[in-house]
Structure 1
Amino acid sequence: MSEVLGDIDIELNTDIIREWRSIVTLIVFVLTNIVVLFPFHIPFYIPRPFKNAILDGLSALRVIGPRQDASLYEPGSTDAQSGEGGSGNKYFVRLEFPMNFVTAPLIADLFLLAILAIGRDEVYGGTIGANNISPIDIMAFFITLSYIAISIDASGLIRYLAFKVLQRGGKFGHRLFFYLYAFFFALGSFIGNDPIILSGTAFLAYMTRVSSNIIHPRAWIFAQFAVANIASAILVSSNPTNLVLSGAFGIKFIIYTANMIVPVIVTAIVLFPFLLYIVFADESLIPLSIQMHELSEEAKAKKPVNPNIPNARGNAEEEENDPANGEQSKQLSLEEIMNPFLDKGGAGFGALIMAATLITLLVLNAASRNTGQYPVFYVTVPAAFVMFCWDVTFGWIHREETRRIALAGRKEVERAREAREEELRQLAIAQEQATVSEPLMIDDHTRDINSNNETGIVSGVNGQDTRPSTSGISTLNEKQESHPTNAPKSSEGNITPSSAPEEKSQASSDQETDIEKQIDRDLTKDGKPTLVFIVKNRYRWAQETFPTAAAVIGHLPFALVPFAFSMFVLVQALVTKGWVPVFAYGWDHWVNKTGTVGSIGGMGFLSVILCNFAGTNIGTTILLSRVIQAWQKIHLVNGTPISNRTFWATVYSMALGVNYGAFSTAFSASLAGLLWRDILARKHIRVRRLDFARVNLPIITIAMVVGCAILTGEVYIMRDDSPYDKQ
């Protein structure tokens, strides 16, 4: 105990909370977490000449290319005056500043610095470290270990193993559901939840799309999301929340796993029948027999392509992502899951590096007297560097092949886009001709025209019927109305028809893209490339030459770094401004009234709730770790030590809550939830916030009740009422 408490320096004076800076700090903390929960954009306007001056200045510095068409920018232009596709104001340009989990905590810290509510000590404690929590060590460890895990995923191993599980499960729905559930749990226990979310979510989206009798994919995707986060509670290395917790209380990795493995495994075992027979007890969700579309022999004979190579599948990816393609889209999705790419060398080497890294971490951590003596990133940084060297070397050796594939795919995409543009151009010409000829029609034919238009037929000048499918004549409204009917699934968690505002937004986005393309075409007009041109070309070259390394770096959770550091600083501000001691005194009163069982139930409930309202599960872990440390300090000062059973029951119930809390009521309860939502959206599966909370509510309830019940039995068997020690 002395080793843990010796480094804890938390001021227990609560009188400071009456100062105005302390009150402002708490308000800022609450508002920041509300913004993280409900992100938005702040619109602001700048004068159009000012914007043009900036663009011209960047162009003069050869950062971007020159403005090609003045009508796209000048206030006197037609577009600027009409406001269509633009801001609607000819003298001002509307811009939007994002307020989300990255910007909101950072702005909050800067504001507190400006009013002198925090200073050097808070910033130092939130970045370098304080009270046994070292943010820099944690972030370095997590990012480097994530590189290894995501590299294994980029090799195609997870998709390939999921395909084998699909083959083994066959067409039996309940058996396949169990196999996938067990597969995601086993794999998530070792490599964490993020790689499972990256590959497993896309795999399930494809699988449910190509099944003719799985009406809703929610049973499969929600079960996968829950079990991936449950599994991440076993190893310290699987989730950054576990790293924060183990560092705060000096828990060795092997001891943490020994205390968590039984509650987690029992939770997974008990949860499965609840999911199958209660939560998702509907044959439209999990059919007894799954009817899958068959893959043609020609598709089976195709050589699988590396999805990390840009445009590797040519125009197939764009066709697959278009919900209007119907059966063709399903066929392409079927090829994606039934003919998966696997880099055997990369998968084998990555698995070896991951196993060696985890074993080394466990051995060194167990052999070390002081967990802070040897920072864990001393192991993961060299391992990630070795993995990176492998990816780069493998890419360089096969660069000619990957560049050839990328070039062929890029040309196919360009030809398809040109064909679509030509088709739209011809369609517009035909429509214009039909509009011009319409006033020349005889009044006697007016009724026939109106009647025919209702059935999708446009009458020509000579009275002959011309159908859009053969002549290409159709109206924009008819085309827009046809899309929802082609969407195969329009219920919750599935494709939803586009609304008018979304169509306008898409049109505006397309116009902005066209402007960017027009600028990019003449980036080297005078023979000298711009900075944007160079960066784009270098990035494309890197993707085509080192596809695996580029894909892994692109998927690394870099956004976690500024978010975590900012949240560490905010929580440190609550510590120095007296709010954390206030929370600790409140927690002490609760434990005195309810005992060990109350500490498990209270901390479990509190940690799950705060995951949704205190800056994701990472922010919750930081805050609650500080509260428990202050609770320690209270008893140390009073000379009344906490019992061994009660203290560790509190710590490990928090570990359950911050891991399980990821699948509770809000996407922002974890960064994995935000990633999961975005991947599903790219696969045309829309999960609304209300649906996310409604489906997850029974799942998190069952998981926490079971986990806390097993933990209660465990601490009563393994712990006693003597003063607690370090482990």
Structure 2
Amino acid sequence: MGIVGEDGVRPYDVLVLFISLAYISTALDSTGGLRALAFFISQKSARTPQLSPPSAEKTASGVQLYTTLYVFWFVAGVIVGNDPIVLSGTAFLGYMTRVTGITTPTAWTFSQFIAANIASAALVSSNPTNVLIAGAFKLNFLTGYTKNTLLPSVITQVDTTCTAAVVAYPLLLVTFKTLKPPRKDGTSGAPAYIPAQLTPPDVDPRSALLDPKGAVFHSALMLVTLVVLVGTSFVKSVEVWMVTAPGGIIALLRDVWTERGSHPLSTPQESEGINLGRVIESTFRYEPRYSLPAFGRAFRRQFPTTATTISRLPISLLPFAGGIFVLTRALTSLGWTSIFASWLAKISVNPAVTIFFLGYFIALVLCPLCGTNIGATILLVEILRDPNFSNAPHIVAGPKILTGAIFSAALASNLGAFSWTFSSSLAGLLWVSILKQKGIHVRAREFAAWNCLFLPVLSTVASAVVLLEVEYFQ
């Protein structure tokens, strides 16, 4: 498979889509658009207490604000993916929990992280793992992929029926309303995870909007790119990168053009006099006029916002994912993938066993141990496409087994982002890093404990819905 790809698996599609949409969403965040929207939503949940004068400070129900933000993270995660929500939402939570006096922000940070990662399973464009699976098995983005993942994603999020009573939102809410944070001395009795009343940040959402025109432009560009991406998925000759790369380039050119005359390229030179220290320094230190560091400094001076946006991009994904693609191809060349495929074929005796086994195994084992959920997905795609699995007699006779395996893998690769290690996903590494910058420290043991409480329940619900769809709606 390498980087170029073969048989419908195009690694460069994943890389180009991810980095292009990441730039658009990060540029949108740089305008303050997502932050302003979060402030607006949190303030809309606040009300003046009854029997209080109009000038009284507005307060919000802790549960109501928690619910409002949860829905916001989910909806935004479906549209822009989990990484932009982690980038902008985590920083916002760091500020919000501080100004509202929440001393233990565990409930708020974990609900954001879980909601964003489950939401990213809904659309192909929301996560690179979705693009990889859709491309490998030639699934139409809308009718082939989303129709089979949107329902499990939504049901895993919201308690809409009696049969989905113990799923993400009610599970999180009941857990954090029932349990009490421990004190530093080990005893209980600290303030609740979700206080009864909170005072939302007293910030005008417009003040957080640094570039209103840019926010409108990048929002529209993101929407158009996603619509075109879904629309052209019916056209086999149009590859993913042909749609997403122009969107990312347009966003970059717009930012550069907007800042073209805002900042001087260089500082004014001294018109008279000689700086003896500078002369001596230049005598002993030679720096080429044209060098990469010099270009970087000049670019940051001329285009500070664009440079900041670029610096926030998860560019480390490119060599990482490329290396994982190559390593997986090496496993295939050495015959290991065929061995794994034979083992999986023996386990997959029917759709139910296949779906539930892969749902648990991918989320709880492969994602934490195989170089994030991207590495796990790359490996699993090769296993499912191997003839030892796909051409096994009982799987050929029962095509629902392969169908169930594909969509179970799609959901599990997203749920596995909040498995028991930070490195289960790049989003997890980014999330814990931003929280640390905001003074919120999440230990690895705490991360594993909370996620191992929620993940098995969510995996069970998602797998059950996939099984119902495969059995009755295919």
TM-score higher than 0.5 here?
yes
1:303-329 deviation line (CA, Å, top 9, x unaligned): xxxxxxxxxxxxxxxxxxxxxxxxxxx
The Cα shift of 1:292 comes to 5.8
State the partner residue of 1:629. 385
State the partner residue of 2:330. 573
> Is 1:379 the equivalent of 2:269?
no
The Cα shift of 1:221 comes to 0.6
1:182 to 71, 87, 104: 71
Partners of 1:288 and 1:521 lie apart in 2 by 62
> Is 1:682 the equivalent of 2:437?
yes
State the partner residue of 2:468. 713
1:288 to 170, 173, 196: 196
- Cα distance change of structure 1 residues 637 and 215 upon mapping to structure 2, 3 Å threshold: closer
Judge conservation of contact 2:341–2:388 (CA < 8 Å) in 1: no
**Aligned ranges 1:152-163 → 2 under 5 Å:** 152-163=28-39
- Cα distance change of structure 1 residues 274 and 644 upon mapping to structure 2, 3 Å threshold: same
- Cα distance change of structure 1 residues 636 and 710 upon mapping to structure 2, 3 Å threshold: closer
1:579 partner amino acid:
W
1:250 to 138, 151, 155: 138
**Aligned ranges 1:560-709 → 2 under 5 Å:** 560-592=317-349, 595-608=350-363, 609-630=365-386, 632=387, 634-636=389-391, 638=393, 641-709=396-464
The Cα shift of 1:526 comes to 2.3
State the partner residue of 2:148. 259
State the partner residue of 1:361. 229
Partners of 2:313 and 2:136 lie apart in 1 by 25
State the partner residue of 2:212. 344
State the partner residue of 1:144. 20
The Cα shift of 1:678 comes to 0.8
State the partner residue of 2:262. 398
State the partner residue of 1:106. none
The Cα shift of 1:706 comes to 1.4
Judge conservation of contact 1:173–1:287 (CA < 8 Å) in 2: yes
The Cα shift of 1:224 comes to 0.4
SS at match of 1:399: coil
Partners of 2:96 and 2:329 lie apart in 1 by 46
The TM-score with structure 1 as length reference comes to: 0.56
The Cα shift of 1:293 comes to 7.5
The Cα shift of 1:231 comes to 0.7
State the partner residue of 1:135. 11
1:514-547 deviation line (CA, Å, top 9, x unaligned): xxxxxx9999532975259965554344234323
Partners of 1:521 and 1:358 lie apart in 2 by 53
1:418-444 deviation line (CA, Å, top 9, x unaligned): xxxxxxxxxxxxxxxxxxxxxxxxxxx
1:166 partner amino acid:
S
State the partner residue of 1:277. 174
Partners of 2:229 and 2:289 lie apart in 1 by 42
- Cα distance change of structure 1 residues 241 and 531 upon mapping to structure 2, 3 Å threshold: farther
Partners of 1:533 and 1:685 lie apart in 2 by 42
The Cα shift of 1:136 comes to 2.0
1:624 partner amino acid:
L
Judge conservation of contact 1:233–1:260 (CA < 8 Å) in 2: yes
State the partner residue of 1:508. none
- Cα distance change of structure 1 residues 138 and 275 upon mapping to structure 2, 3 Å threshold: same
RMSD: 2.6
The Cα shift of 1:338 comes to 9.2
Partners of 2:283 and 2:362 lie apart in 1 by 60
Partners of 1:166 and 1:338 lie apart in 2 by 14
- Cα distance change of structure 1 residues 256 and 284 upon mapping to structure 2, 3 Å threshold: same
Partners of 2:145 and 2:416 lie apart in 1 by 19
Judge conservation of contact 1:524–1:530 (CA < 8 Å) in 2: no
Aligned sequence identity (%): 36
1:288 partner amino acid:
A
The Cα shift of 1:374 comes to 2.3
Partners of 2:39 and 2:438 lie apart in 1 by 18
Partners of 1:537 and 1:127 lie apart in 2 by 32
State the partner residue of 1:220. 108
Judge conservation of contact 1:196–1:228 (CA < 8 Å) in 2: yes
State the partner residue of 2:164. none
Larger radius of gyration: 1
Judge conservation of contact 2:342–2:388 (CA < 8 Å) in 1: no
SS at match of 2:283: coil
1:350 partner amino acid:
H
> Is 1:200 the equivalent of 2:84?
no
Bigger Cα displacement from structure 2, 285-294 vs 609-618: 285-294
Q: Which runs of 5+ in 1 are unaligned?
A: 1-124, 301-336, 408-519, 720-727
SS at match of 1:601: helix
> Is 1:526 the equivalent of 2:283?
yes
